[in-house]
């Protein structure tokens, strides 16, 4: 609102969506985000503003904000619902809860299809430094399998502050999302990156071996010159819901090898002349990656049969 109380217009970034309201950080503005409703025309078009959207907005004389237009998006994620992200930091702990390579692969398929760069963040590195066998083996396994196929791996410890500077530099100027298994310390990591943020955290349930979901809505947090979306913890990703048909595309090493397959549309499971199976036999592709691929392929076929 202008000094004389009249309406004004502006541009900005949606940093939070909650209960039908969109909170817009105005470009060049240092004030609190402006609480806005979306214009009814979006609903008629089947559109919805998302956290991460660049928007035009207006503020009436009464101080009510309205999202007037959504700028074109470079990326759009279904789960979590975030627009214009260009980096995914997949946070997995070396132990407590135990590292799940299958779940990590499921996240990576999602990220590859969305067209985002992925960085693997191994939290709770202090447990490796303390000599915990499971933690040491998990860290070595991730570096051996995922580092070899080109994923950057950053080890961090919220307790000791290790790896935080490297992570800050990685986040600079990016719109990144933090995602991963519940209880791995995503919120603790953000608290360590931004002292004073004080996101809610929860202790790991000894009985369940996993954490409670502590983050209940998507919100962008400013880190240096970038933004981070701390996203709700979840352990299930539905390939059909995400619109994934070509599962092999989500495995970057299979994607590179597939050009050498004898048959077009090779499923990389049984076909003669399959370059992926040949790489697997030669020890040039990880067995765990192919195992998860076959498991996901089976899940997708089963879902299709049901519907």
pLDDT of residue 73: 95
111 and 213 belong to one structural domain: yes
pLDDT of residue 13: 96
58 and 94 belong to one structural domain: no
For the stretch 59-65, contacts whose Cβ atoms lie closer than 8 Å and that sit 24 or more positions apart, written own/partner, are 59/1, 59/7, 59/8, 59/9, 59/10, 59/34, 60/1, 60/7, 61/1, 61/5, 61/6, 61/7, 63/1, 64/37, 65/24, 65/34, 65/35, 65/36, 65/37
172 and 287 belong to one structural domain: no
pLDDT of residue 123: 82
173 and 117 belong to one structural domain: yes
Q: Annotation-wise, does 126 bind a ligand?
A: yes
Residue 1 maps to a domain: no
205 and 92 belong to one structural domain: yes
Chosen domain end from 230, 264, 280: 230
pLDDT of residue 258: 94
pLDDT of residue 259: 94
32 and 137 belong to one structural domain: no
Predicted TM-score (pTM) of the model is 0.81
Helix (H) or strand (E) run with residue 138 in it: helix 133-142
264 and 139 belong to one structural domain: no
pLDDT of residue 218: 78
Chosen domain end from 230, 259, 281: 230
The pLDDT tens digits along the chain (307 residues) read 455 556 789 999 999 998 889 999 999 876 789 999 999 888 888 889 999 999 999 999 888 899 999 999 999 887 778 899 999 999 888 777 788 899 999 989 988 988 899 999 988 777 666 667 877 888 899 999 999 999 999 988 878 878 889 999 999 999 998 887 777 777 778 888 877 665 544 443 333 334 444 445 778 888 888 998 866 544 456 676 666 778 999 999 999 999 999 998 899 999 999 999 999 999 999 999 999 999 999 988 887 766 5
Residue 77 maps to a domain: no
Residue 235 maps to a domain: no
Domain housing 198: 87-230
Pairing between strand 219-223 and 226-230? antiparallel
Which residues on neighbouring strands pair with residue 221, listed in sequence order?
Answer: 228
202 and 95 belong to one structural domain: yes
Q: Annotation-wise, does 6 bind a ligand?
A: no
| Side-chain-side CA neighbours of residue 239 (13 Å) | 24
194 and 98 belong to one structural domain: yes
Q: Annotation-wise, does 180 bind a ligand?
A: yes
Q: Annotation-wise, does 125 bind a ligand?
A: yes
Q: Annotation-wise, does 113 bind a ligand?
A: no
pLDDT of residue 19: 87
The encoded tokens of residue 76 equal 């759009």
Chosen domain end from 205, 230, 255: 230
Residue 13 maps to a domain: yes
Q: Annotation-wise, does 93 bind a ligand?
A: no
CB-CB neighbours of 306 under 10 Å? 6
Residue 142 maps to a domain: yes
Q: Annotation-wise, does 12 bind a ligand?
A: no
Q: Annotation-wise, does 274 bind a ligand?
A: yes
Q: Which residues contact 128 (CB under 8 A, 6 or more apart)?
A: 94, 135, 136, 138, 139, 155
pLDDT of residue 202: 44
Q: Annotation-wise, does 162 bind a ligand?
A: no
Helix (H) or strand (E) run with residue 13 in it: strand 8-18
96 and 64 belong to one structural domain: no
Residue 114 maps to a domain: yes
Q: How far is CA 62 from CA 7, 55, 119, in A?
A: 8, 20, 44
Q: Annotation-wise, does 19 bind a ligand?
A: no
Total of domains in the chain:
3
Q: Annotation-wise, does 121 bind a ligand?
A: no
Q: Annotation-wise, does 186 bind a ligand?
A: yes
Q: Annotation-wise, does 183 bind a ligand?
A: yes
Q: Annotation-wise, does 298 bind a ligand?
A: no
213 and 100 belong to one structural domain: yes
Q: Annotation-wise, does 266 bind a ligand?
A: yes
Q: What is the CATH number of the domain that holds 41?
A: 2.40.50.140
Q: Annotation-wise, does 182 bind a ligand?
A: yes
Q: Annotation-wise, does 268 bind a ligand?
A: yes
Residue 236 maps to a domain: no
pLDDT of residue 203: 40
Residue 82 maps to a domain: no
Q: What is the CATH number of the domain that holds 109?
A: 3.40.50.300
Q: What is the CATH number of the domain that holds 259?
A: 1.10.40.50
64 and 107 belong to one structural domain: no
């Amino acid at each position: 609102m202008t000094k004389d109380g009249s309406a004004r217009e502006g541009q900005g970034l949606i940093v939070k969506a909650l209960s039908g309201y969109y909170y817009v950080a105005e470009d060049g503005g240092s004030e609190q985000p402006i609480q806005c409703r979306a214009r009814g025309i979006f609903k008629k078009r089947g559109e919805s503003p998302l956290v991460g959207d660049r928007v035009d907005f207006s503020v009436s004389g009464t101080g009510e904000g309205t999202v007037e237009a959504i700028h074109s998006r470079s990326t759009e994620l279904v789960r979590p619902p975030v627009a214009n992200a260009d980096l995914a930091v997949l946070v997995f702990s070396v132990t407590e809860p135990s590292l799940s390579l299958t779940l990590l692969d499921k996240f990576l398929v999602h990220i590859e299809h969305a067209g985002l760069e992925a960085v693997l963040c191994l939290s709770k590195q202090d447990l490796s430094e303390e000599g915990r066998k499971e933690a040491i083996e998990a860290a070595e396994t991730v570096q051996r399998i995922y580092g070899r196929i080109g994923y950057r791996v950053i080890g961090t410890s919220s307790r000791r502050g290790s790896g935080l500077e490297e992570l800050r530099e990685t986040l600079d100027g990016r719109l990144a999302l933090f995602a991963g298994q519940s209880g791995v310390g995503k919120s603790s990591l953000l608290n360590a990156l931004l002292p004073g943020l004080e996101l809610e955290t929860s202790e790991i349930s000894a009985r369940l071996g996993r954490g409670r979901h502590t983050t209940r809505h998507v919100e962008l947090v400013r880190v240096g010159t970038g933004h981070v979306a701390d996203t709700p913890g979840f352990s299930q990703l539905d390939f059909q819901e995400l619109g994934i048909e070509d599962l092999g595309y989500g495995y970057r090493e299979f994607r590179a090898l597939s050009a050498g397959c004898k048959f077009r549309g090779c499923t990389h499971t049984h076909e003669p002349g399959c370059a992926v199976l040949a790489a697997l036999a030669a020890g040039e592709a990880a067995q765990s990656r192919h195992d998860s691929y076959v498991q996901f392929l089976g899940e997708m076929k089963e879902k299709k049969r049901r519907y």
